[in-house]
Structure 1
Amino acid sequence: MSAVAALTIFVVAYVFIATEKINKVKVVLIAAGLMAVLGLIPGSEVFFSEHEGVDWNVIFLLFGMMVIVGIVKQTGLFDYLAIWAAKKSRGKPYRLMVMLMLITAVGSPFLDNVTTIMLVAPVTVVVCNRLRISPQPYLIAEILASNIGGAATLIGDPPNIIIGSRAGLTFNDFLVHMAPIVVAIFAAFVLLTRVLFRKSFEYHPERVAAVMALNERRAITDMAMLRRCLAVFALVVVGFCLQTVIGLDPAIVALVGAGLMLLVTNADVNDVLEEVEWPTLIFFFGLFVMVAGLVHTGVIGAVGEFTATAFGDNYLLAATSLLFGSAVFGAFFDNIPYVATLAPIVQGITDGIADPAISDALWWAFALGADFGGNGTAVAASANVVAIGIAARSGHPISFWQFTKYGIIVTIWSTALAWLYVWLRYFA
């Protein structure tokens, strides 16, 4: 009965989130409260358990990067980049979208997709405001590009960090096995956006002319502060890349970087904290508690075990099930807690396989499905929630279905291409 109750609460909450009848933060807090009152979560352990509770690493990584972005914003850097991007693209909508997507996709594998979105999304809003065009299509395209690009490396997408830790896979392993298909899918995605967003492209020569006349260098309000910010940010990036060497979680690196940047810039703490997306952080907290209810009552575990026993020694079927199953469930349950829950089950399957190449193939199928499933819905990945929060805060809200109608299309064809890649590389 507890599993039925947890699943019912989750489904009802998800319907309210999808229909946007009630603010999503209110929905997740009410749902999380019901889970707690009915005893469907592991009590106080929900605050401490790695697999059945709130993932504080994600929460504090987001908080740290929000503080960093809030400080950098005060220097005028985002206005500078916005004017620069508008001038380089000459205001041509598709060219601008490709440029912003390329920046996002290249940054995501090395900064992680959430951090990249937090840096690029404010620039996008500014440049679109300058051109007086709707930023929603550009933000949606960037989110999709960030989830595709982030799949390429160990640190590019949070689920990859979990998988790499559980499977003993290195940064170079991800580059060798994941990067080729990610590059191919991103190239196809760039072409697809020309069709997906064709009705959204607006070009107004008179507005472009006004932007072309601007001097981007004048947008920088404090060059000395910007230099200090960039120096600290460079250290944060190095910390992310050397995670396995220095032994610090990305969340710790982000928090230390935020504190150091506050120190060296002498920025007003109250002003910076006003830039933090508090509703987004609270939404993640509530969502983690909701998923903890599904984990604690055995709903997600039962689904995973059923999948694990269904394919026996047919490893291509196993890879197919992991790939498509992860894309589907990762799209609806948030791919971070989903991967954290299923990773032990996948490890149990792979431990019984004598051929290490086949064993690794199952992990790659699992990772590709979870990463690309992050594009499925508006709440499927951290980058989605963060970008949508930034859009709402800037006065350009993106609805659940406005994002999802594009995300589902991209998820379906990217997952299909990923399956073809897995079959050809590991089983054909």
Structure 2
Amino acid sequence: MAMKAAIVLGLFMATLGLIASGRVARCVAALAGAALLMGMGFISFETAIGYVDFNTLGLLMGMMIIVGVLSRTGVFQYVAVKTMKLTRGNGIVTLFAIAGVTAFLSAFLDNVTTVLLISPIVVSVADIMDTDPVPLLMAEALASNIGGTATLIGDPPNIIIGSYAGFSFVDFLVYLAPVAIVVLFAAVLFLAFHFRDELVITPDQFARIRGIDEKKTIKDGKLLLKAGLAMGAVLTGFILHHVLHLEAAVVALLGASLLLLVTPGDGDHIIHNDVEWPTLIFFLALFIVVGALKEAGIISIIAKGLAAAVAGHPFLAALAILWFSGLSCAFINNVAFTATFVYVVDEMAQALSTSAEPLFWALALGACLGGNGSFLGSAANVVVADISRRAGHVISFGGFMKIGMKTTVLSLSIASLYLFLRFGL
């Protein structure tokens, strides 16, 4: 058993290393790791398929199609020009505006849906100004994860924790929304300082923006109406999907399918060009790799060791959960991690004879905020990186991690102080 766990962990680390190296495409590295783990018998094909979150894949595909159709209407260019005029061409204000809108939407929508909606606007803003979109895209990706921390439906780990611990939508707003707002402000301040030189907009650039008539950027008003109605219906479906008993993926795919039926032109062309197939393959393979890690018992081994190390100290337990989950979820899918760790938190609370509530809030903060650490921590990060690549600006694994990990450490530090002040453990 120990030998199996060691080999699986080694293959997992090798896969991460290959992804980080950038020598091969991310999807190829993840696919090779998944195939090797299945080929060596560490996880069967049937078991591996069980770990694949088809709801995430379907949601991604559906939203990519809808956003692809919307991009043909010129609406993203319209919003981009309008945004720049409202912020009067101030790069710092634009950064805060994009981060704020992204975080707000991510509190009520899936993070991936949010970045798929916002990213084309960001790219259009950068194109109009003839500047690098990476600072704004980074702010968007990080803000989506921070905003998702604030509510029950904002991030999948919160749904898992809320269901297990019996926390309501209001509970999340009361306990996590305040700290999420503080973390967002601190993170955007850090990004504004880090990218201060790239965010400078010259008078000539702003003059070019003022000279654009945003109304003329709309290329197809009829298609915009159809796509807008489809998007509105899908977003409504996301809010009501628990009442409708439909998975978010089904809602997105229904909206995408109906939109393709009423969109002029070749639907195959839209599916081929607007669906990020490498991204879907990357996630499919990554789910399998993490599944093998869980099957080998590695996550449970680490969690039990952590519980033993902090026995007798409730606040240390909360801090350990916060930082361990935060740093782990920078590299491990936070859904699989949280699904395993809720049981560990419960056992730790019983062993410490203390309330489990602060420990669960620590887990929620760690799992959500830790997603900013690297590409692997959040689906939104990968989507933003791929959109940036398609726009001609590559965000490398190391480049993202350099900024993401600093933001994560800053966020977890604020969360640590919050836990101490809020619960006085």
Whether the TM-score (by the shorter chain) exceeds 0.5 is yes
Q: Which residue of 1 aligns with 2:99?
A: 101
Partner of residue 162 from structure 2, selected from 157, 161, 164: 164
- For residues 329 and 191 of structure 2, what CA distance do their matches in structure 1 show? 23
Q: Which residue of 2 aligns with 1:88?
A: 86
Given that 1:91 and 1:131 are in contact with CA atoms closer than 8 Å, whether structure 2 keeps it comes out as no
Output one character per residue of 1:76-116: Cα deviation in whole Å (capped at 9) or x when no partner. Answer: 11111111112222322212211211211111101122111
Given that 1:42 and 1:296 are in contact with CA atoms closer than 8 Å, whether structure 2 keeps it comes out as no
2:17 partner letter? V
- Aligned-residue offset at 1:386: 0.8
Given that 2:145 and 2:371 are in contact with CA atoms closer than 8 Å, whether structure 1 keeps it comes out as yes
- For residues 351 and 301 of structure 2, what CA distance do their matches in structure 1 show? 20
Given that 2:385 and 2:395 are in contact with CA atoms closer than 8 Å, whether structure 1 keeps it comes out as yes
Q: Which residue of 2 aligns with 1:308?
A: 307
1:422 paired with 2:415, answer no
- For residues 272 and 85 of structure 1, what CA distance do their matches in structure 2 show? 28
- Aligned-residue offset at 1:267: 5.8
Given that 1:155 and 1:240 are in contact with CA atoms closer than 8 Å, whether structure 2 keeps it comes out as no
Q: How many residue pairs get matched? A: 422
Q: Which residue of 1 aligns with 2:37?
A: 35
Given that 2:106 and 2:148 are in contact with CA atoms closer than 8 Å, whether structure 1 keeps it comes out as yes
Pairing of 1:178-327 with structure 2 (within 5 A)? 178-265=176-263, 268-273=266-271, 274-327=273-326
1:16 partner letter? L
- Aligned-residue offset at 1:333: 1.4
- For residues 337 and 282 of structure 2, what CA distance do their matches in structure 1 show? 17
Identity percentage of aligned residues: 40
Partner of residue 405 from structure 1, selected from 392, 402, 405: 402
Unaligned residue ranges in structure 2 (runs of 5+): none
- Aligned-residue offset at 1:301: 1.5
1:387 paired with 2:384, answer yes
Q: Which residue of 1 aligns with 2:357?
A: 360
Q: Which residue of 2 aligns with 1:60?
A: 58
- For residues 87 and 133 of structure 1, what CA distance do their matches in structure 2 show? 16
Unaligned residue ranges in structure 1 (runs of 5+): none
| TM-score scaled by length of structure 1 | 0.94
Moved more, 165-174 or 95-104: 165-174
Moved more, 102-111 or 90-99: 90-99
Pairing of 1:362-381 with structure 2 (within 5 A)? 362-381=359-378
- Aligned-residue offset at 1:350: 4.8
1:12 partner letter? A
- For residues 56 and 242 of structure 2, what CA distance do their matches in structure 1 show? 17
Provide runs of 4+ in structure 1 moved above 3 Å. Answer: 263-268, 347-355
Given that 2:314 and 2:352 are in contact with CA atoms closer than 8 Å, whether structure 1 keeps it comes out as no
Q: Could you say if the C-alpha distance between residues 168 and 269 of structure 1 is closer, same or farther in structure 2, counting changes exceeding 3 Å?
A: farther
Q: Matched residue of 1:332: which SS?
A: coil
Q: Could you say if the C-alpha distance between residues 353 and 72 of structure 1 is closer, same or farther in structure 2, counting changes exceeding 3 Å?
A: farther
- Aligned-residue offset at 1:378: 2.2
- For residues 76 and 270 of structure 2, what CA distance do their matches in structure 1 show? 15
2:322 partner letter? L
- For residues 266 and 398 of structure 2, what CA distance do their matches in structure 1 show? 38
1:7 partner letter? L
- For residues 172 and 255 of structure 2, what CA distance do their matches in structure 1 show? 26
Given that 2:313 and 2:352 are in contact with CA atoms closer than 8 Å, whether structure 1 keeps it comes out as no
- Aligned-residue offset at 1:414: 0.7
Given that 2:346 and 2:356 are in contact with CA atoms closer than 8 Å, whether structure 1 keeps it comes out as no
Q: Could you say if the C-alpha distance between residues 162 and 263 of structure 1 is closer, same or farther in structure 2, counting changes exceeding 3 Å?
A: farther
Output one character per residue of 1:119-170: Cα deviation in whole Å (capped at 9) or x when no partner. Answer: 1111111110111000011101111111111111112112222222322322
| TM-score scaled by length of structure 2 | 0.94
- For residues 421 and 97 of structure 2, what CA distance do their matches in structure 1 show? 31
Q: Which residue of 1 aligns with 2:338?
A: 339
Superposed CA RMSD in Å reads 1.8
- For residues 297 and 98 of structure 1, what CA distance do their matches in structure 2 show? 43
